[in-house]
Chains A and B, each alone.
Chain A
Amino acid sequence: MNKGMSLSIFEIVGSPICVASGDGQKVYDRLAATLKEGLNVTLSFHNITILTSAFLNAAIGQLYGSFSEEQIRSMLTVRDMQPDDLALLKRVVETAKLYFKDPKKFDRAVQEALGSDSDES
């Protein structure tokens, strides 16, 4: 295993509330720089109390546009996350994989979503 480092989200954002896309971008910038150097990263969510999909999309989802799934899986680990936050991150990651795999197909997954369970008045 190569040399690794640990990043604290609290230290980067400066708050336990991680809701803004702009704050997620700050985390992404550090993650991407570290991964580009070929270093393993452990991302700590210690003391983080609130996360949104907007923050996680920018911080982590965005990685799938620059790095392969294999790279991310082998080089990035998370810790100190609450189970429901892990579930949110998992949804963000699955969405990001689809988004970057085939953006056009992503767009086409459209009409079928309409009218399936709606009552129009």
Chain B
Amino acid sequence: MKLFLPEIRHDQAGFEALIRLHAQTKDCLFDDIEIDMNATTWFDADMCAAFGAILYHLGAELNTISLTNMRSDVGDILARNGFLSHYGREKIPDRWGTTIPYRRFDVKDDRYFADYIEAELMNRSEMPAMSPALLKKFRESVFEIFSNAVLHSRTERGIFSCGQSYPKRQRLDFSVADLGIGMRQNIKENTGLSFTPQQAIAWATEGRNTTKRGLIPGGLGLKLLRDFIDLNGGRIQIVSDAGYWRRENGKTVIARLNRPFPGTVASIEINTADMQSYALSSEISENDIF
């Protein structure tokens, strides 16, 4: 089977292109799948998380995947962040130090994920100079996204992450994808509520809604993320099942995609020039918590 991949940008069209690839291949078993990337004139590196999830699913169904006719500039991007190492190419040095490498984690890999974030964000001088407050909020945000996948996705095939900084645009992108049940199904199974896929994402990012049941409360992670991105001037996109949700400039856009993603992707873009202190308007006392 031969398929053609268009340019992949981190926007709704980029997600739809990857989802189309999934729809065309999801039933393949023991197949040779060639993905012709001649028409892939651009590939936003953080989209490797979603792309990698789809390809991992194909590999798990014992298909053989080959990425062919890749333009050299796109190949360089995908080799620098280690993505192509999974598909037979050597990793090349990240000369500009702008990549947060592509990785796959299992749900029990919280500690490895933490080490990865610390190593790739904290201990690298090439990363954009962010204020300490912003760096802390960004780290918290990526951990919240990862925790969300760990706690809710029920993925057995892993969690995929990748990031890229754009120093000239003063932006840093980071995406986490999972191959789990998706938000719509998770909400339905845990609360009995039936939503469209796009409504399900909106529900999970609003108010006090949570699918958590049992002894440990939940339902805060995505709201904290949304609050932070609103203040920072960045953007969040979430794709889950056939739902698309984007938050930017204080506005939310939701859409129904033609086909479902086989899990959930959360993608954030932060403004690295943000100098806000994130200090609170009124200090909270340690004696006034409980």
The residues of A with any CB-CB pair to B shorter than 8 Å are: 15, 17, 19-25, 49-55, 57-58, 61-62, 64-65, 69, 72-73, 76-79, 81, 83-84, 86-93, 95-96, 98-100, 103, 106-107, 109-110, 112-121
User: Assuming A21-B147, A117-B251, is B216 touching A83 (CB within 8 A)?
Assistant: no
A50 contacts B209, C-beta separation under 8 Å? no
Decide yes or no whether B75 CB sits under 8 A from chain A.
no
B111 contacts A109, C-beta separation under 8 Å? no
A20 to B159, CA, bound (A): 15
Inside 8 A of B44's CB, which chain A residues have their CB? none
Task: Pick the residue among B219, B224, B286 that contacts A86 (CB under 8 A).
Answer: B286
Decide yes or no whether B208 CB sits under 8 A from chain A.
yes
B206 contacts A52, C-beta separation under 8 Å? no
The residues of B with any CB-CB pair to A shorter than 8 Å are: 110-111, 113-114, 118, 133, 136, 139-140, 143-144, 146-148, 150-151, 191, 193, 195, 198-199, 202-203, 206-210, 212-213, 215-221, 224, 251-256, 278-280, 283-290
User: Assuming A77-B286, A93-B290, A117-B252, is B208 touching A50 (CB within 8 A)?
Assistant: no
Inside 8 A of B278's CB, which chain A residues have their CB? 84
A49 to B137, CA, bound (A): 11
6 examples of A-B residue contacts, CB within 8 angstroms: A17-B118, A73-B290, A84-B279, A110-B203, A114-B202, A118-B254
From B143, B191, B202, B287, residue with most partner A Cβ within 10 Å: B143
B284 contacts A17, C-beta separation under 8 Å? no
B210 contacts A106, C-beta separation under 8 Å? yes
The 5 closest A-B pairs by CB, nearest first: A20-B110, A113-B206, A54-B147, A99-B217, A53-B220
A112 to B203, CA, bound (A): 9
User: Assuming A64-B217, A110-B203, A115-B202, is B283 touching A72 (CB within 8 A)?
Assistant: no
Inside 8 A of B285's CB, which chain A residues have their CB? 86
The number of inter-chain residue pairs (CB within 8 angstroms) is: 156
A107 to B203, CA, bound (A): 11
From B198, B202, B213, residue with most partner A Cβ within 10 Å: B202
A50 contacts B143, C-beta separation under 8 Å? yes
A99 to B216, CA, bound (A): 9
A87 contacts B284, C-beta separation under 8 Å? yes
A19 to B224, CA, bound (A): 14
Report the minimal beta-carbon distance from A4 to chain B, rounded to whole angstroms: 15
A54 to B144, CA, bound (A): 7
A20 to B285, CA, bound (A): 25
A115 to B203, CA, bound (A): 9
Nearest opposing residue in chain B for A78, CB measure: B286
B216 contacts A58, C-beta separation under 8 Å? yes
Inside 8 A of B220's CB, which chain A residues have their CB? 53, 57, 91-92, 95
Inside 8 A of B221's CB, which chain A residues have their CB? 52-54
Nearest opposing residue in chain B for A24, CB measure: B216
From A20, A64, A89, A119, residue with most partner B Cβ within 10 Å: A20
